[in-house]
């Protein structure tokens, strides 16, 4: 399985609203820490090292699709 960068989240606007709400009231440092924890939780859920390596490369290049 390769990295899927095609739209794949049901109700992406709702998810984005939830993500923004999760950051509400956090300091910049706490917001950064929240993002780091979320990334590690999702990376663990994915679990495929090759896919995670592809994701790191795509993020470094600014690729979203």
pLDDT at 59: 93
Per-residue pLDDT at 65 exceeds 70? no
> What pLDDT digit, counting tens, does each position of 6-25 carry?
999 999 999 999 999 999 99
* Residue 49 to residue 20: CA distance in whole angstroms: 28
Q: In terms of DSSP H, where are the helices of 1-65?
A: 12-23, 28-46, 49-61
Whole-angstrom Cα distance, residue 15 to residue 53?
24
E runs forming strands in the chain: none
Q: What is the pLDDT of residue 33?
A: 98
């Amino acid at each position: 399985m390769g990295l899927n960068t095609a739209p794949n989240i049901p109700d992406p606007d709702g998810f984005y609203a939830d993500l923004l709400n999760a950051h509400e009231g956090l300091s910049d440092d706490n917001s950064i820490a929240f993002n780091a924890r979320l990334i590690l939780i999702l990376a663990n859920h994915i679990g495929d090292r090759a896919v995670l390596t592809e994701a790191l490369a795509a993020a470094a290049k600014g690729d979203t699709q």
